[in-house]
Structure 1
């Protein structure tokens, strides 16, 4: 069987962050083959749309037919449709299609520029929405299509039900334009589901809506159920926004390939963990190993959760002749050190490697003499903290204006061993820092604890 084909019917963004460019990057990243029917050209960048020119409606029809006649289409999505005539041409070709269609009713760009006329909105409402397997409006677009004011997740549910009454099989009303610490997207289909994600301050989110709908179309083309396709796309978008590109003077584009980059970078991270563990399996490291053992962790470029982080399987422990690690390296092998590393990276992306060390007086003295150090009092951790390592990272990095230290030292708390955690821009530097501390630490502790 050939590779599944997902067709994007949308406008071109010369800045590369949204529109056809975002669609094709995302579709390929999700494992489908991306084809296109371009509805308009825009002179666009992160600050706005400077000019646009709609494609002739007949050319839009021919592009769709050319792809379907030769490649075949397994799913399609629509985005910017420019005007009523272009929207009508797209609707004529897609209304009776034998493949699912995701309708992203693009009306306004991230910058606020209007991308579809009122007459075009009517075509979307009356022709495309009834043909949609899924319609994906943001809150303002849902209001335009349904007349329902959307200011909360409950409003989004109501608007979603209204869109289904208009003929759509399902609706995903996105909440990025609404206020709140969390973004809530509401899927209204045979059942109602909410997808929550923390809001990223000053996020580079240009092209987020295009990326979401394109990812869903790609998974539908591959045969995924709608709810699965939406769940996968939501996870992809969370990562794409968290690692958005800091480009241009306006709102930068999301990282369309962030999910792909995390997987591609994993072998390097695993190799660096193994190399670091081997370097630490030396008698000189024995005084630095805490009672709970030492974990080495390395984060791939676009890691967002502990399952993405490479770490040693089983902690390094003291043995009679030095230090040993019981296993190799794996993604998701660490919780505590991985969470600390990810929490630090939310503030300082330069940090990619970390490990924990014994907080003896000798080790602390060596660390404080050789490294930049921040201290944290874990007895002050609030009961409602999301997690100890998240709290430690947030407290230290906020206090330092986002500039990570070489080491974080804490005196522990009830039932929690005191610890030194070393941070570094890469695994090689981590090895240099830690082995440098080992050289300055008395070697009295050589045998296993107890």
Structure 2
């Protein structure tokens, strides 16, 4: 998939073109760029802007359009009327999703569009938008409506939509001391998507959000699905923000959870004779976010690790909510021991249990034949079993197993703080 980012260059790589490239790379798509302006800025201050010439802008557009199939476009900084009109002429006939991020001012205070260009921006750029993503400040500037109530919020969104945008999302609407919401205004419906407020001044979150939106839209997600994905992606980037300069923190879009789990899975499937440890129900390897609340907060394989001859292969992609059973076991363990965030299931074998007992790992178990009838009826066997095994152990278990029941396969689950630590335990017992 090829996604095109049109916008300004930020030498700090906190926002603009550079930020979008990082986001696209993290999301495993190819990022194309057209630079509209060169800025001099860092995490503390904003210097000058030098828009590119009309000639080089047209040349960039021609270079991209004549060579690549483009699946979606994000438009950020456009700066002046000349740039706006050239982009409009070149993009207006395209039949692909376009996200417009109406950047007006940088986090450090620099003007990202000339005041004289605002009318042309509304006339030529906003009508290109499948989705436009103003924050509250930008929505007030565009609509000339002070947003201080749900009614004024709706009025502002409606006014922006009348400028030609198909869908409007106004981001960062505070809903209390701990809450924040994005207001979605589609053609015939509206809603809020709520999230946790993160009190951290940062550089780059707006760019992360709009780049994530175009990614999801290009993947044929619905408007609501795309905006929900973008909100979660952006919240994670803010949580991972790092203070790399002397000023405000820069968001970090790198998904360390995905990278660490992916690396561990790659090592796992290449362990000699590991296929002998794959149960009939196959294997899932999972890794959770901090403080997971449900399996949707736990990264797992959408398929499984399966046996193919004498090899173990990964059938599926890493996705949050990709595991049910192993994720439920991890979630239950994490409630008691919050530092435990990774787990894997293995085939039950007596020889494996003997090796575990000979190692320095702590092992516990539960008997599925003792499962209360009401637990079985609710389908909460795993939660009950893990709780019982934890309760029966004098210290935190590294491994929990059961010997199955009628029609139920026996299983071993190995737990650890990270996928890498789970791997180290596995190497001790197989």
TM-score tier (shorter): 0.5 to 0.7
The offset of 1:189, in angstroms, is 0.6
Equivalent residue for 2:70?
73
Deviations 1:25-59 (A, max 9, x none): 21233343210100111122111222221111232
The number of residues matched between the two structures is 321
Equivalent residue for 1:279?
none
Distance, in Å, in 2 between the alignment partners of 1:24 and 1:60 is 19
Aligned pairs for 1:231-246 within 5 A: 231-246=228-243
Q: Which runs of 5+ in 2 are unaligned?
A: 269-284, 301-324, 344-390, 398-415, 423-430
The offset of 1:224, in angstroms, is 2.9
Aligned pairs for 1:24-423 within 5 A: 24-175=21-172, 180-190=177-187, 191-203=189-201, 205-258=202-255, 261-267=256-262, 307=295, 308-309=297-298, 330-331=326-327, 333-338=329-334
Three-state SS of the structure 2 residue aligned to 1:70 is: coil
- Cα distance change of structure 1 residues 256 and 23 upon mapping to structure 2, 3 Å threshold: same
Q: Which runs of 5+ in 1 are unaligned?
A: 274-296, 312-328, 343-350, 356-415, 432-450
Deviations 1:265-317 (A, max 9, x none): 125678999xxxxxxxxxxxxxxxxxxxxxxx996688866545589xxxxxx
Equivalent residue for 1:322?
none
The offset of 1:254, in angstroms, is 1.4
Distance, in Å, in 2 between the alignment partners of 1:341 and 1:238 is 25
Equivalent residue for 1:392?
none
Distance, in Å, in 2 between the alignment partners of 1:27 and 1:309 is 22
Equivalent residue for 2:6?
9
The offset of 1:89, in angstroms, is 2.0
Distance, in Å, in 1 between the alignment partners of 2:203 and 2:70 is 27
The offset of 1:130, in angstroms, is 1.6
Three-state SS of the structure 1 residue aligned to 2:330 is: coil
Distance, in Å, in 2 between the alignment partners of 1:61 and 1:90 is 9
Three-state SS of the structure 2 residue aligned to 1:175 is: strand
Equivalent residue for 1:277?
none
Distance, in Å, in 2 between the alignment partners of 1:85 and 1:114 is 17
Distance, in Å, in 2 between the alignment partners of 1:53 and 1:144 is 23
Distance, in Å, in 1 between the alignment partners of 2:84 and 2:42 is 24
Distance, in Å, in 1 between the alignment partners of 2:223 and 2:299 is 31
- Cα distance change of structure 1 residues 178 and 116 upon mapping to structure 2, 3 Å threshold: farther
Q: Is the 8 A contact 1:298 1:427 kept in 2?
A: no
Equivalent residue for 2:362?
none
The offset of 1:129, in angstroms, is 0.9
Distance, in Å, in 2 between the alignment partners of 1:429 and 1:88 is 52
Distance, in Å, in 1 between the alignment partners of 2:120 and 2:229 is 30
**TM-score, scaled relative to structure 2:** 0.64
The offset of 1:149, in angstroms, is 1.0
The offset of 1:426, in angstroms, is 5.4
The offset of 1:121, in angstroms, is 1.8
Three-state SS of the structure 2 residue aligned to 1:27 is: helix
Q: Is the 8 A contact 1:337 1:354 kept in 2?
A: no
Deviations 1:90-116 (A, max 9, x none): 222222322221111100111222211
Equivalent residue for 1:393?
none
